[in-house]
A and B are shown apart, each in its own frame.
Chain A
Amino acid sequence: MIIDINFIGLIIASIMASAVPLILASCGELITERSGVLNLGVEGMMIIGAISGFALMTVTGSLIIAIIGAMLAGVLISTIFAFLTQTLITNHVATGLALTIFGIGISAMIGKNFVGIPGKEFPVLFEGLKDTIPLLGPILFGHSIVFYFAFALPFITSYFLKKTKIGLIVRAVGDSPESASNQGINVRLVRYACILYGGAMSGLAGAYLSMIYTPQWIENMTGGRGWIALALVVFSTWNPIKILIGAMIFGGLTIIQFHMQAIGVRIPVQFLTALPYIVTIIVLVVISRDSRKIRLSTPSSLGKSFHKDN
């Protein structure tokens, strides 16, 4: 059997494409969690981003407005979370769960009128270069701008956290909000900013799904990707580069198991469907075993409310 080498390139490219929303949402949530805030509303923020992006695209016809609008929608819904958890000091877990339920509900309501409307084609970059290099051509070229951004994001996030002053402040707040506050850092402001950033990234991840990956609106179309993104953050031990690895494994196994189902491999479908979830978690647990490193990168104040008393 002769396999076209470019066909393998295409498969790898499709794996990468399916990893994009996970990377975006995870890297956003990673910043949120690094500041000590546990936002379980990723799924809700993603689906809000998905419907906002799709609706704005259909109504205005502008892709730029749609993408930016989806991110703003993510920011808006995460502002609710920020206000509740940071200003009214509600419990992070309960508020995050409520956010997800709220997001799924309201997106279905808005989305009623958009079911069945075809999406628009999203422009891709470097289309012409696709055939110039075998194997690498289809992997590197011919993707949307969001795709390139997503694969740069883990490195940007890593650089931001390790090398910049603001990144240092974010880590400091997550390590000990009390100390940070006593050092004159405005803990609430930092956490608001991190939550809103996480919302924007989740919104973008959702927009990618409804505008680029499968350009149409389907109710509940995020299909649990928000939860996977959350799991990736934890099992990567808050390391953006490991998020990239985890997202690729998850994306890869999702694509491969589809193909296996299609070819008719005699393994129960339920097992194949579950495979990406199990393998991703096992791999991440194995590569993140060093308990000292876990201790150093886990935000100590994660999920705990901080209230400055005077």
Chain B
Amino acid sequence: MNTNLKISNVTKIYPGCVANDNISLEFNSGKIYALLGENGAGKSTLVKILSGVIIPDEGKIYLNENNLKLNSPLDAKKNDIGMVFQHFNLFETLSVFENLIIDSDEQRESLREKIDTIMKKYNFSIDLDIPVLNLSAGQKQKVEIIRCLIRSPKVLIMDEPTSVLTEQETSELFLSLKKFSEEGILIIYITHKLKEVMQLCDEVAVMRRGKLVSVSEIKNENIESLANKMVGQNLKIIKKKKAKTSSDQLIKITNLNFTSEDPFETNLMDINFSVNRGECLGIAGISGNGQSELFQVLSGEIISEKNSIEFKNNYIGDLNPQERREYLMAFSPEDRLEQAAIPQMKIFENVALNNFKSSNFFDNGLINENKIKEHSKKIISDFNVNTDNIELKSQFLSGGNLQKLIIGRELITSPDLLICFNPTWGLDVGAINYIHETLIKINEQNKSIILISTDTDELLKLSDKISVIHKGKLSKIMNAEEVTSEKLGILMGGAN
């Protein structure tokens, strides 16, 4: 049976922003549709409307000519619309089976049989009786998909499904999605990754700033044309020039170990690497394999053995972040609003938080506001932060602007080593480009970078050397030119 889903003149307005501006779209089963757009383009709002999480201000949704009233997620489920969210809607401490039975009306035994049938059919293998927190991201996603399939949905919506997957898991997912589509399930695939759209989908709708920009067939598009539609301007392609090989060693990590008491954290085992001046060392891996622990150990949030970290011929493993900054190290953590900045504080106050000693921000314990403000203005203009109000609370900056501010704050002391963790996570293409350019510039000035990132393309673009972290262990260090994303994918999955 054919499924036809129609979105008709949907509008959703938030204070200060039109998230969806009069969107009309039509989907038919048998095809895979891409909904493409940058962060903040309004894709997520639209799919949340389709799944009943958000109620639109105006507009209607029709499934096979029936006007749907989607006032809650239950309504969407009842109307055979299944949704896999970007942030999983799973209960970490409950078992897989408990997660699946919670919204099912079936008896335990019959549900178990049904799940087994689904898993066999699509070649999934997941232990139903272990808590979800023990699963990998790919497995968690499969649990979400099974949850949808139990209800034999007509429509399956996937919201940025590959952001946490390896290359291998991604291609597995694509195979499954194609299978679902052949079986008559209408698939809507939300993403900002152009490559995936080209690989998987039949039709693509592009959104920008809440508006629908275009609807077209994939065969009439290519990556550049889609990129330009998505961003709304022609993008320049950034490329890194090959760095002059320097043999001047800046930082050396020797037999670094970290054992955590928190079962949620990853232990680091026997980490060894070194970075020369002017080099960028990329560390790839699927999130949750020890990256955040490695970042914390390198930044001094976690203290390690004194001799395990040697920086400019000093042993600094036992120093805290503040003391390490004095040696001209700088840090850009993953979580901009939780770790890198304090959202309720003003821009210039956040700037002051870093440079306690080397700058003269404080006179005899009193805040020298003028000096800090002057300094903040310099960061804002040097690093292209899109505001002229340094009294603005940091939480009101967009992710891209906040990241520029943080990188700017870190770089203004012109450090010898910048350690960043997912610096472009969740940013739009323009901001990503700017950050990438900045990082390349740092290397050109003969300064070094350790770039911990889950974005393989970013690593291949910026790194001189690459290593992969898997379950707290580093792979051998490879020259970036010899590495392909496929090879990284295999290493990230744990194979040698």
Q: Do A and B bind each other?
A: yes
Q: Which residues of A contact B (CB under 8 A)?
A: 165, 168-169, 171-172, 175-176, 178-185, 291-292, 295-298, 300, 310
Asked if B390 is at the interface (CB within 8 A of a chain A CB), the reply is: no
Chain A residue numbers with a CB within 8 Å of B261 are 291
B101 near A168: Cβ-Cβ < 8 Å: yes
- Chain B residues near A297 (CB, 8 Å)? 93
Chain B positions within 8 Å of A291 at CB level: 261-263
Contacts of B74 in A (CB 8 A): 184
Contact B263 A300 (CB under 8 A): no
- B263 adjacent to A171 (CB under 8 Å): no
Q: How far is the CB of A83 from chain B (nearest CB, A)?
A: 22
Complex Cα distance A172/B73, Å?
16
Contacts of B263 in A (CB 8 A): 291-292, 295
Contacts of B113 in A (CB 8 A): none
Select the stretch in B83-91, B198-206, B211-219, B227-235 that faces chain A.
B83-91
CA distance A296 to B51 in the complex (A): 30
Known A168-B101, A291-B263; judge A183-B73 contact (CB<8 A): yes
Q: What are 28 A-to-B residue pairs whose CB atoms are below 8 Å?
A: A165-B101, A165-B102, A168-B98, A168-B102, A169-B102, A171-B94, A175-B93, A175-B94, A176-B90, A176-B91, A179-B88, A180-B91, A181-B73, A182-B53, A182-B73, A182-B89, A183-B102, A183-B103, A184-B52, A184-B74, A184-B77, A292-B263, A295-B93, A295-B262, A296-B133, A300-B92, A300-B93, A310-B54
Q: Are A184 and B93 within 8 A (Cβ)? A: no
- Which residue in chain B gives the minimum CB-CB distance to A292? B263
Interface size of B by CB at 8 A reads: 27
Please provide the chain B residues from 13 to 62 with a CB less than 8 Å away from any CB of chain A in the complex: 51-55
- If A184-B72, A291-B261, A295-B133 touch, whether A179 touches B90 (CB-CB below 8 Å) is yes
Contacts A168-B98, A184-B72, A184-B74: A179 and B262 contacting too (C-beta < 8 A)?
no
B343: CB under 8 A from chain A?
no
Bound: A310/B223 CA distance, A:
35
Q: Is the CB of A295 within 8 A of B264?
A: yes
In the assembled complex, the Cα of A125 lies from the Cα of B90 at a distance in Å of 47
Distance of B110 from chain A, by nearest CB (Å): 15
| Residues of chain B within 8 A of A168, CB atoms compared | 94, 98, 101-102
A38 shortest CB reach to chain B, Å = 17
Closest to B132 in A: A175
Among all A-B residue pairs, the 10 with the closest Cβ atoms: A184-B74, A179-B89, A175-B91, A184-B73, A182-B89, A292-B263, A172-B91, A296-B93, A175-B93, A183-B103
**Considering residues A169, A182, A310, which has the most beta carbons from chain B within 10 angstroms of its beta carbon?**
A182
Q: Flag if B73 contacts A175 (CB, 8 Å).
A: no
Interface residues of B in 78-125 (CB under 8 A from A): 85, 88-94, 98, 101-103
B131 contacts A by Cβ under 8 Å = yes
B130-144 to A contact mask, C-beta < 8 Å, 1/0? 010100000000000
Residues of B within 8 A of A182 (CB): 51, 53, 73, 85, 89
Specify the chain A residue showing the minimal Cβ separation from B73.
A184
> How far apart are the CA atoms of A45 and B229 in the complex, in Å?
61
**Closest Cβ of chain A: how far from B85's Cβ, in Å?**
7
Known: A184-B73, A291-B261, A296-B131. A179 touches B91 (CB 8 A): yes
Give A179 to B88 CA distance when docked, in angstroms. 8
0/1 per residue, B404-432, Cβ < 8 Å to A?
A: 00000000000000000000000000000
Q: Which residues of A contact B91 (CB under 8 A)?
A: 171-172, 175-176, 179-180
Q: How far is the CA of A99 from the CA of B74 in the complex (A)?
A: 35
Which B residues are in CB contact (< 8 Å) with A172?
91, 94, 98, 102
Please, which residues of chain A bring their CB within 8 A of the CB of B89? Answer: 176, 178-179, 182-183
Chain B residues within 8 Å of A298, by CB? 93
Write the chain A residue with the least CB distance to B78: A184
Q: When chains A and B are docked, how far (Å) is the Cα of A180 from the Cα of B54?
A: 15
Distance between Cα atoms of A184 and B104 in the complex (Å): 11
CA distance A180 to B225 in the complex (A): 40
* Chain A neighbourhood of B54, CB < 8 A: 310
CB neighbours of A171 from chain B (8 A): 91, 93-94, 98
Interface string of B251-270 (1 = CB under 8 A from A): 00000000001111000000
A178→B91 CA distance, assembly (Å): 10
Which residues of B lie under 8 Å from residue A181 when comparing CB positions? 73
Cβ of B70 to closest chain A Cβ, rounded Å: 11
Smallest CB-CB separation from B53: which chain A residue? Answer: A182
CB < 8 Å: which of A175, A180, A292, A310 contacts B55? A310
Minimal Cβ-Cβ distance residue in A for B92: A175
Q: How far does the Cβ of A177 sit from chain B's closest Cβ, in whole Å?
A: 10
Q: B146 to chain A: closest CB distance in Å?
A: 14
